[in-house]
Chain A
Amino acid sequence: QQQVKQSPQSLIVQKGGISIINCAYENTAFDYFPWYQQFPGKGPALLIAIRPDVSEKKEGRFTISFNKSAKQFSLHIMDSQPGDSATYFCAASKTGTASKLTFGTGTRLQVTL
């Protein structure tokens, strides 16, 4: 019940296209859903996060869509750029002092010219 399933495992998108990464969770107690971006040899960087009280959150070219009934959330990268090429991890947790992040398996995104 603690799993977060992420797909696809890898993704190739042309420059200017839309990258879409999907995640599904099982634990209905989760109430915080962040996305992290990781470049090779670096630590993950918090990209954007959402809570279940909203269905969408947008920050620049990055949008999270959240479907509480389906227990799914997705990351959309609009106008994808070569600099977006990285590994993206979704995660989920409960808020509170005992919270721990449960990570998805990651998606390797390559944006081609």
Chain B
Amino acid sequence: GAVVSQHPSWVICKSGTSVKIECRSLDFQATTMFWYRQFPKQSLMLMATSNEGSKATYEQGVEKDKFLINHASLTLSTLTVTSAHPEDSSFYICSARSPGTGFAEQYFGPGTRLTVT
């Protein structure tokens, strides 16, 4: 149980274009999902918290207009990187919070490698 998928697993796009990443909880309903960014050999950096049916909450320093998050259902959240630039190249990982154990457990997707050329 507690499986989270991401699509695509990797994507290459040209500078100035937008790319959408999907995050799905496959076997549980997730009212809250999280989006992280990870640079090589570094820890995970929380970008935003995505709540079903409401606006995402962004961490300080994260551009809301560049990283659009939509949590359309209890099993799907999407991250759209708009007008991507090479500095947006990174490993993006989503997680979904399980409603069990006091809403503490988070299960992570396999990540999406974004390369902007």
Residues of A within 8 A of B (CB): 32, 34, 36, 41-46, 49, 89, 93-97, 99-101, 103-106, 108
Contact = CB atoms under 8 A, between A and B. Distances in A.
**Majority secondary structure, A binding face:** loop
B80 to A, nearest CB: 19
B34 A96 contact: no
Contacts, number: 65
Interface of B: 2, 4, 6, 31-32, 34, 41-44, 46, 49, 91, 93, 95, 97, 101-111, 113
B43 A46 contact: no
A43 B110 contact: yes
Given A89-B43, A89-B44, A100-B46, A42 B111 contact: yes
Contacts of B109: 43
A73 to B, nearest CB: 15
A93 B103 CA distance: 10
A43 B46 CA distance: 14
